Amino acid sequence: MSTNEEPLLSLENVEVHFEKESGPLDFDSEPQTVRAVDGVSLDIMENDIISLVGESGCGKTTLGKTAIGLQRPTAGSVKYRGHDIWDIRDGNSDSDLEWMDVRKSLQIIHQDPGSSLNPNRRIVAILSEPLRQVSPGLSTGERRERIYSLLERVGMNPAADFAERYPHQLSGGEKQRVVLCRALLMNPDVILADEAISALDVSLRVEMMDLMLELQDVFDTSYVFISHDLSNARYFTEHGGGKVGVMYLGRLAELGPAEQLIGSPNHPYTSVLRWATPDLGMDMSVTGDFPMRKIDIPDPVNPPSGCRFHTRCPEAREVCTRETPEPMAVGDASVCACFRVEETHEYWNSPPIEDPQEGDIDVDGSQGTSNAD
């Protein structure tokens, strides 16, 4: 891939903030803001794969939905082929692109495919809708022929039989294949796969990932692959030649090729995910002891100052409590938001953070205890 290639999708300093829902007794309290995504920049190239991983609530799904135009950012920009998609949506762009062009080009497949399939329509009718939008001149017979061909390609044989079924007559894996077919029939440039394999049996996950990679070669599409499982992200990204992005509390901690990121992580939080994923097949002598100072995840409504991981990071020093690390290039293919990747940074002369004793105030403002809750 050429280094001067223009991005297909470009996210720049994207922020997505939500007001936290108040409880029934909170009528006098000020609304609280959840910083779901808080300053992320990311480029997605043609035929690319970006896998986003992290703990629940880290912002990976929100970032993915923002990338494909399903969530308007609070700040920052999302550009498709160089044009801001929300300027197009609001009619403020000089681009020839229409909002419908953007929506067709940026598709999604969900974790629960059954929820997005009309239970009262046969599969052939469900898959005819995208073809009517993309190729309105096709006859009924031509649409059916194209649908049968794609069903066969994803392993649903005999296609004529599956086409006449209703969603409830399909297994979870078959429903996921139908949803993938529906997205691909739109001829998309990007597909967001939001935990698309997590509900499948373990034996079917690799099969589904292999199918998605095979179809990528046919349809020339890019994937944004969301997963809480680092082993799945590793497999999909390694076999597709993409990158893994590690998110923590709304920010991108590290981004790089899967083999490099997992084999030699630059960010301490990546080491945590690696340690916590036994399916990676790594010897515990390599991964070492538990790589965190504490288990509790900070509140995204009131995240820690400085580096957001410093309250849990065993490598944290005083400077990490007050300065926010920006993503820095590491080698030719990776970026990392950690002061430790810069040999001349103040970090190396900054004193380590001392763990609080029982009764002391912890670095995140909470009271220290002798054991984890």
What is the C-alpha to C-alpha distance for residues 275 and 331, in angstroms, rounded to an integer? 24
| 364 alpha-carbon distance from chain centroid | 27
CB-count burial class (<10 Å; 0-12, 13-18, 19+) for 213:
middle
| Residue 277 pLDDT | 87
CATH code for position 90: 3.40.50.300
Please indicate, yes or no, if residue 152 is contained in any of the structural domains: no
Print the domain residue range for 105.
7-18+33-120+166-255
| Residue 368 pLDDT | 41
Please indicate, yes or no, if residue 88 is contained in any of the structural domains: yes
Give the pairing of strands 334-336 and 251-256.
antiparallel
Please indicate, yes or no, if residue 308 is contained in any of the structural domains: no
Is the separation of the CB atoms in 77 and 14 below 8 Å? yes
| Residue 356 pLDDT | 56
* Omega within 30 of 0 (cis) for the link into 158: yes
| Residue 328 pLDDT | 95
Please indicate, yes or no, if residue 225 is contained in any of the structural domains: yes
Query: What is the DSSP secondary-structure string of 135-195?
Result: -TT--HHHHHHHHHHHHHHTT-SSHHHHHTS-GGGS-HHHHHHHHHHHHHTT--SEEEEES
Is the separation of the CB atoms in 36 and 18 below 8 Å? yes
| Residue 129 pLDDT | 94
- Other Cβ atoms within 10 Å of 200 Cβ, number: 18
Q: How many domains does the chain have?
A: 1
User: Which one, of 349, 268, 249, 337, lies nearest residue 36 by Cα?
Assistant: 249
Residue indicated by tokens 């294949």: 177
Q: Profile the chain (373 residues) by mean pLDDT over runs of 10 residues.
A: 75 94 61 91 97 94 97 97 96 92 94 89 96 92 96 95 96 94 96 92 91 94 96 94 96 96 94 85 54 78 93 94 95 94 95 65 39 35
Please indicate, yes or no, if residue 187 is contained in any of the structural domains: yes
Residue 367 tokens read as: 């009271």
